[in-house]
Amino acid sequence: MPHALARRADARHHARSSQTIDMAWIDNVVHELVHALKRQLSRFKNIEHRAGAAKSPAAMARALVAMEQMLERLLRLEKEREQARAMRTENVDDARAALEARLDERLAFIEEQERREAEEEERRCEEMIETMAVTGTA
């Protein structure tokens, strides 16, 4: 039983730490991978056009298939990153709206409390004035 609790706690910690990874860093890594693939494709085109560097058609086909698969993975990653950025923005907007609503409620409560205290103070002052008028002390 203690082992299961430790595993669950470790899993929760891992989930929290994976969520706290710097999103900008992940975006930069995906961006760099796209640029690396572009450079690789450019080198491939240069090799293809050179007269003296004739590779076998099978090797060329394997290289193209590998680049195509890498491009598909990178496009999928970029799409996921875009969704994560959109979700993060929505979460920030939702959190901001919820915070604003809570602050508005607290402000309204404080203002109401101050209004009641001012009314109570005014009532006490009026009572004191009446008491002084009745007793004749001025």
Average pLDDT over residues 21-41: 82
CA distance linking residue 27 with residue 21, whole number of Å: 11
Task: Answer yes or no: are the C-beta atoms of 37 and 70 closer than 8 Å.
Answer: yes
pLDDT digits (tens, 9 = 90+) for 95-126: 888 889 999 999 999 999 999 999 999 999 99
Task: Decide: pTM greater than 0.85.
Answer: no
Nearest C-alpha neighbor of 26 from the set 72, 92, 78: 78
The residue to which tokens 């996921």 are assigned? 80
Average confidence score pLDDT of the chain: 79
